[in-house]
Amino acid sequence: MLYYSTNKQSPTVNFKAATIQGQAPDKGLYFPEQIPTVPAGLIENIESYSNEEIAYLVMKPYVGDTIPEEILRKIVNETINFEIPLVPITENIAALELYHGPTLAFKDVGARFMSRCLGYFVQEEHRKVTVLVATSGDTGGAVANGFYNVDGVEVVILYPSGKVSSVQEKQLTTLGNNIHALEVNGTFDDCQQMVKEVFTDEELNKQLFLTSANSINVARWLPQQLYYFFAFKQWKEKSNPPVISVPSGNFGNICAGILAHISGLPVTHFIAACNANDVVPSFMLTEKYEPKKAVATISNAMDVGNPSNFVRILEIFHHDFKNLERLFTSVSISDAETRVTLKEVLEKHKYLLDPHGAVGYLALSRYLENFPEHKGMVLETAHPVKFFDVVEPIIGEEVPVPGSIREQLLLEKKSTVIPADAAKLKSFLQSLG
């Protein structure tokens, strides 16, 4: 499998090179030359396959011969060694709980896969790699956990000051050692722009071996397909495939789901559920893509005004809008609607959503009102405790804290405050050597 740049101005590369480089030299995103079809019989007999075998069969074509079979099987087994249950909420809506991993967020899957792939690849490089990542919330903690104490890897995480939850901040600022947290006086889009600028700095790239751990990296993005397959394995009505609602910020998660569908996974429709940051919902109405400055919401991990991965969705559909809108809808949900939904679902159905899941739930519920012959699932992308400071005032009670993070919440925050300035980021990276 080879990967080309969405800007079409860089050479094609294999999975190893795409993972190590992160972003293509022409500033485009890497995209597979072919979208593989899943093996015959996998979908029809999916309940007879283990999750580990499904994961291996799905990821093998993308990895190609860059990782030996026994190593890849070990990587996927370690990536998915936690529960990913599909939990009924109503007769028509279920939640795919993606928060049972070590940092209680869906990004554990991609971060664990990428860290293990990169750890394998750098053994052959004989030089230190610096992993650079911008986060609007959950990516930072997942990447920090995935790469913590990995030999030969330094991790630098940029996050917008005051715009991530207190739990998210503790998860990305308390590990230390090879994990460095930069608290940026700006927005997530500022963080993302700073990262993009240093990746195209020729002088810096001669000095340092840089790669990205955002979902622009194929090793972070592609394994997110896996839990869509696991969800279908648990789906009761195989002849009536689900409508899937995905809380969407940078659009890597839903893009991976669409890729899984093109590969052969049955899905009736995808809903990209957004908060007030409505660049893609506006595009679906006007066919004009107009990035905006991100605005802060209570579903902060989706506060993105220029989602990087939407270009990959357009690439999947060869930029054919008519084909896109047959499979894909995008809507914007307000903070007020999010609060009401979170409270009502708990009171009526005894299920506690997080703010992002509440956005996805309401978007799905409204879609199913118009298409009552279908049923659907919402991706619950993070544990509600990660946003307890938002959730508890809404529901009027405490959110139980899982034991896995209770101790981490007591640790001291360690971060370096910097302005939203790529030159300051460059200086920090140079100081790491």
Q: How far is CA 179 from CA 51, 130, 413, in A?
A: 31, 10, 12
Question: DSSP string of 341-397?
Answer: HHHHHHHHH-----HHHHHHHHHHHHHHHH-TT--EEEEE-B-GGGGHHHHHHHHTS
Distance of CA 393 to the CA centre of its chain: 27
- Based on its alpha-carbon atoms, the radius of gyration of the chain, rounded to whole angstroms, reads 20
Q: What are phi and psi of 212, to 5 degrees?
A: -110, 150
Q: Map residue 119 onto helix, strand or coil.
A: helix
User: Has 206 been annotated as catalytic?
Assistant: no
Residues with Cβ within 8 Å of 69's Cβ and at least 6 positions away in sequence, in order, are 60
Q: How far is CA 353 from CA 223, 262, 381, 384, 411, in A?
A: 24, 29, 10, 6, 27
**Paired residues of 347 in beta bridges:** none
Contact 264, 36 (CB under 8 A): no
Residue in this structure with the two tokens 């995209």, named with its chain if needed: 31
Residues with Cβ within 8 Å of 309's Cβ and at least 6 positions away in sequence, in order, are 29, 215, 216, 221, 250, 251, 252, 255
Active-site pick, 107, 163, 196, 386 = 107
**Paired residues of 179 in beta bridges:** 155
Instruction: Provide the strand spans (E) within 193-260.
Output: 210-212, 243-247
Closest CA to 184 of 167, 160, 163, 164: 160
Q: What angle do CA 303, 306, 307 make, to 5 degrees?
A: 80
Q: What are phi and psi of 185, to 5 degrees?
A: -80, 80
**Eight-state DSSP code of residue 36:** P
**Residues assigned a catalytic role:** 107
